[in-house]
Structure 1
Amino acid sequence: MDTRRAIVVAAAERFAVVGYHGARLSEIVSLSGVTKGAMYFHFPNKEAVADAVIAATDESFAALLADLTAHEWDPLDTVVVLTEQVVDRVRHDPVVRGGVRLLNDAAVAVRHGAAHYRFAEQSVAAPLREAAAAGALREGVDVAVLARQIATLMAGHNLICGRSGTLGELPARVTAMWDALLPLIASEDWLDQHRNRA
């Protein structure tokens, strides 16, 4: 692992546990195994380290979305799989876990959260529009509103699990979310096909 990446990973691990204000640069230096000089060569201050963790988180989610959209899956299935893969990264990728904690930290610039959640809504809205065009959604479903609700539910479940130390419950929460949502938003034809695939 190169020096910069080692610092970003160590910082993300601390931010995930104690938040922005709770993490000290001396702890990040110690955890990363680099020298203080190496830290300051790459990052002038803790804000710059936090920015790098958030940027790496955004890159991870963008790569995930690109990978999923490269497959020619049913668009509504794509949305479900996207949320499942987000959960997997939050649970198993320390950089993503730290980045998500920072995005919801009051000490971090609002612009980061605004850009991230706008991207989340747009990422869900695009396949939902395809699903609507393919007849997979019920008549009258407002795609923009639905995308906002899915992004909000995902953020809420993650926040609750992250702050209550129950990240292991996140997959079951997201499964339950879809169990509740799909009968309300999906067409009967899509639901029938979905049941047959299950």
Structure 2
Amino acid sequence: MGNKLQKPKQSKSETQEPDVDFTCEICIEPVDAKNKFKNNGICKHNFCSDCIAKFIEAKVVEFNVANIDCPALDCKFSLDPLSCRPILPHQLFDKWCDLLCTETVLQKYEISKRTYCPNPDCSALVVNECNNKPSKSTCPNCKKDFLFQVPEWMACRISVSSARVDMLCRKSVAAEPSDAVPPLPALACSSPFSTFLPYLPIQTSPLQ
């Protein structure tokens, strides 16, 4: 019998909905279609690029958040960093990338294999990638030598009593800025008192 005629398949560009002007769900302002933020097709909400950029800045600068969720209510997806790159200042995007890298390291290496450089002008995260117990390490960032020790507060969530945690956190209130480093959300200790602290103390020691 004769072959049936088949409709030609539409290209991806033909099946996509055309961009139209919209109202941003954050600032509630009319926005030109070209300024709509596109999250790499992961989720499609009506957000303008300016609002998303400000949202990311608040998460990164004020809260040190690495994995940033979409601001839409009930949306379970995260913002795609590469889709956000064109709308962010270079310095902000670099800081976000640093947070993402740190988060990856924290998930990959157990507490006993990571510490922070005690140099107050550095405080970089340092990882022991070998299976030994190093007595001396060199910071890959500032190149200074120091004794590799795991700060006590880093293990407080799993190995220290709540009373000990409270004492550590209270001691850090009086710490000088040069003796402290900004805490990471993944390392926040279990004491409720710690939520009021801007810094947590360094317990590692530089080599003289």
Q: Of Structure 1 and Structure 2, which has the larger fraction of its residues in strand?
A: 2
Which structure would you say has the larger RCO, counting Cα contacts within 8 Å and 6 or more residues apart?
A: 1
TM-score normalised over the length of structure 2 = 0.31
Q: Rg bigger for which structure?
A: 2
Q: Of Structure 1 and Structure 2, which has the larger fraction of its residues in helix?
A: 1
TM-score normalised over the length of structure 1 = 0.32
